[in-house]
Amino acid sequence: MLEVLDPNRYRTILESLPNGVYVVDRDRKILFWNDGAEQITGYLRQEVIGRYCPDNLLMHCDENYRYLCGSQCPLLHTIHDGRVRDVQVFLRHKNGERVPVRVRAVPLRDADGSIIGAIETFDEVHPWANLRIHPNARAVENHVEQLTGISDHDSTRSYLEACLRDYAADQIPFSILQIAIDDLDRFRKIHGAVATNRIVHMVAATLSKNLREGDIAGHWAGDCFLAILLDCQPASLDQIAAKLKVIIEYAAIPWWGEWLSVAITASGTTVRAADTVDSLLARCGETLVCLEDATTAGNRPEEGLE
């Protein structure tokens, strides 16, 4: 016979889950926030409990970058109609980066069956594309850079060299994207070195969290990053670049009462016979990825201050 757990034991279990879990009342006031929610969003319980979902805390947007924390909130609809909802959204981490998460909203009912709030669970998601294994790339010893939290320049170059060996041996294709922050020197002059370091870290984190499972993000130079897209053909390159460009430009860091964001320029290429690291980078620099700017006024959601 199963032991009946004390309600406090259930709370302890929920609090310690690695999955994000939070509970709101009918007004979407946050009543519960667990360890997983802290880890995924960067916000501690004491920063969140008692606040309201519409306060622009996580700035949820959907895959079309429509702002969801108002009338399009899945929790709001679940509270109104009692239906369970599963959606993929992008939340804004406390540090500013955009994080892709799978969200499940479930109604919370009292003993009489009346809806008194909702529970949301969420987990980070990274698309799995059944990538062909790059054996040499997998063997690279990776060194994470302190500033950005992703692979440093030497590790990124080693990954590129390993992917070239894999292509020469087994014809396993890959592509690279060079992502440069626009006008970073001007940003530094206006906002200073600390804000610049934070914006660089934010771009790196957003890039890393929004690649496919198995792809590689590296910091190449001060304002420049490389994404190594394993088993990636030219047809997929523009699609991935378009997604990354918009998501990065929708990310922002909190800075003295405002949110600071940056635009980026993306260029890319796919490996060819007899390529070297230098030839890849040279061709990448000559081939800007032509992307429609989806972050113009009218498409970008209004971002409220916390």
pLDDT tens per residue, range 265-295: 999 999 999 999 999 999 987 765 444 343 3
Q: Could you tell me what percentage of the chain is helix, strand and coil, using 3-state DSSP and rounding each to the nearest 5?
A: 35, 25, 40
Sole residue written with tokens 């850079």: 145
Encoded tokens for 215:
């792809």
Tell me which residue of 93, 92, 105 sits closest to 300, measured CA to CA.
92
Q: What is the pLDDT of residue 214?
A: 86
Q: What is the DSSP letter of 305?
A: -
Low pLDDT (below 70) residues in the chain? 1-5, 127-131, 287-306
Tokens of 114: 């009346």
Question: Within 10 A of 194 (CB to CB), how many other CB atoms are there?
Answer: 10
- 3 state DSSP class of 38: helix
Residue whose entry in the numeric block shows the structure tokens 């995924």? 40
Say if CB 218 and CB 159 are below 8 A apart. yes
**pLDDT value for 301:** 41
Q: Which residues, other chains included, contact 163 with Cβ-Cβ below 8 Å and sequence gap of 6+?
A: 134, 136, 137, 172, 174, 228, 230, 271
Cβ–Cβ < 8 Å for 218, 228: yes
Q: Which residues of 218-242 are buried (b: 16+ CB within 10 A; e: fewer)?
A: bbbeebbbbbbbbbbeeebbeebbb
Task: Show the tokens assigned to 228.
Answer: 């190594």
Contact 243, 58 (CB under 8 A): no
Nearest-angstrom CA–CA distance, 211 and 240: 8
**What's the rounded Cα separation, in Å, for the pair 302 and 306?**
13
Q: What's the pLDDT at 232?
A: 87
pTM of the model: 0.84
Q: What is the pLDDT of residue 287?
A: 65
pLDDT at 3: 57
Residue 98 has a pLDDT of: 94
Chain centre distance of CA 242: 14
Distance from C-alpha of 137 to C-alpha of 216, rounded to nearest angstrom: 10
Q: Which residues are CB-neighbours of 119 under 8 A, at least 6 positions away?
A: 21, 22, 23, 105, 106, 107, 108
Question: CA–CA separation, 147 vs 204, rounded Å?
Answer: 9
Distance between CA atoms of residues 16 and 210, nearest Å = 26
Q: Count the Cβ atoms, other than its own, within 10 Å of residue 196.
A: 21
Q: Where are the beta strands (DSSP E) in 209-252?
A: 216-221, 224-230
What is the per-residue pLDDT for 294? 36
Backbone φ and ψ of 21, nearest 5°: -140, 130
Quote the pLDDT of residue 273: 94
List, in order of start, the domains of the chain with CATH numbers. Answer: 7-124 (3.30.450.20), 135-286 (3.30.70.270)
